[in-house]
Amino acid sequence: MAGVCDSHLTRREAIIAAGLLAAATMTSGSTRPAAAAPPPPVEVMPGLLIYPRDTWGADLPPRYAIQPETPQFLLVHHTDSSNDYGSGGAREVIRTAYAWHTSPAKGWADVCYEFFVDHDGGVWEGRAGALAGPVMADATGGSQGFAQLVCLVGSFKTVDPTQAMVDSLIKVLAWLGIRYGIDTYPDATTSFISRGSQIYKAGVQVTTSTIAGHRDMSDTECPGDHVYWLLNSGLRDLVNAQRFAWIGAPPENGVYHAQRLGRVAP
């Protein structure tokens, strides 16, 4: 959330993370039975399937208990890692992020993002428990709280995300908006009292769009210029349209806007 909550790795950090991952896998393999077949994706809404965490991290449990969250907005990130996933695909990129985020350098319980979206439009549960309900994220420099993080796998400083990736991002954001009663109108905002972060000191009131980019919360280039431009060039409208396609358009009085006052959409 606030702070540089990133999976961006320098070459040295990537080598360290790969080594940590290899060590964790070998240790896990020496004490655990052979892994079962990975679970199939879960259809959470029509046309939105999510790979459970066990499809990439059954042998990589959280380091310690993850706390629940009270979501008020959705925060879009990118891993700022190579757009060439290599032979291991997005699964290995996520596993490498886990190794870095749980290393002594970070010390987090798990990957910090609740969900990942890959180039092919595949959606992955990231932080343990995110499919079951809202969980709290981690962040460099502290976390102002109240968000669920959706992270695009790759770097979008100079290139566009694929259409499949954008389509899935829209669906994930719409689903989370429905699930947690978050207003997804393009002009919707929410306010809360910060828990303390590198930008927002504890006790400071924060007001943000209900669908924001990481740079709105922190001094960072995340989620990359090409994704941030999309957020401010119609993507929020598409998220709201997808929401309505799933649950029906609101009455003419715009009742969904009242969610900001604590009312939840049907």
Taking the model in full, what pTM does it have?
Answer: 0.84
Assign residue 209 the CATH number of its domain.
3.40.80.10
Residue of 154, 183, 163, 173 whose CA lies nearest to 44? 173
Q: Does any domain span residue 141?
A: yes
With b for 16 or more beta-carbon neighbours within 10 A and e for fewer, the 49-73 pattern comes to: bbbbbebbbeebebeeebeebebbb
CA-based R_g, the chain, Å: 18
User: For residue 147, is it within any domain?
Assistant: yes
pLDDT in tens, 91-137: 999 999 999 999 999 999 999 999 999 999 999 999 999 999 999 99
Q: If you search the block for the tokens 């380091």, which residue do you land on? A: 63
pLDDT given for residue 134 in this prediction? 98
- Cα–Cα dist 223/216, whole Å: 10
Does 75 reside within a domain? yes
pLDDT of residue 140 exceeding 90, the answer is: no
1 domain-assigned: no
Q: Identify whether 5 is part of a domain.
A: no
Q: What SS3 class is residue 170?
A: helix
9 close to 223: Cβ distance less than 8 angstroms: no
Tens-digit pLDDT profile for residues 229-265:
999 999 999 999 999 999 987 666 554 543 333 333 3
pLDDT value for 249: 73
**Structure tokens given for 116:** 């990942």
pLDDT attached to residue 258 = 38
pLDDT digits (tens, 9 = 90+) for 4-15: 355 455 444 554
- Res 35 pLDDT > 60: no
Asked if residue 211 is part of any domain, the answer here is yes
Cα within 13 Å of Cα(159), Cβ side: 15
Range of the domain at 207: 11-261
The answer to the question of residue 133 being in a domain is: yes
Among 69-78, 110-119, 133-142, the least confident range: 133-142
Q: Which pLDDT score, from 0 to 100, does residue 260 have? A: 35
Q: To the nearest whole percent, how much of the chain has pLDDT over 70?
A: 80
Q: What is the mean pLDDT of the chain?
A: 86
Q: Which residue has the higher pLDDT, 137 or 34?
A: 137
pLDDT of residue 222: 94
Number of domains in the chain: 1
21 has a pLDDT exceeding 90: no
pLDDT of residue 198: 80
CA distances from 72 to 31, 90, 191, 261, 263 (A): 40, 28, 8, 11, 12
Tell me, yes or no, whether 3 lies in a domain.
Answer: no
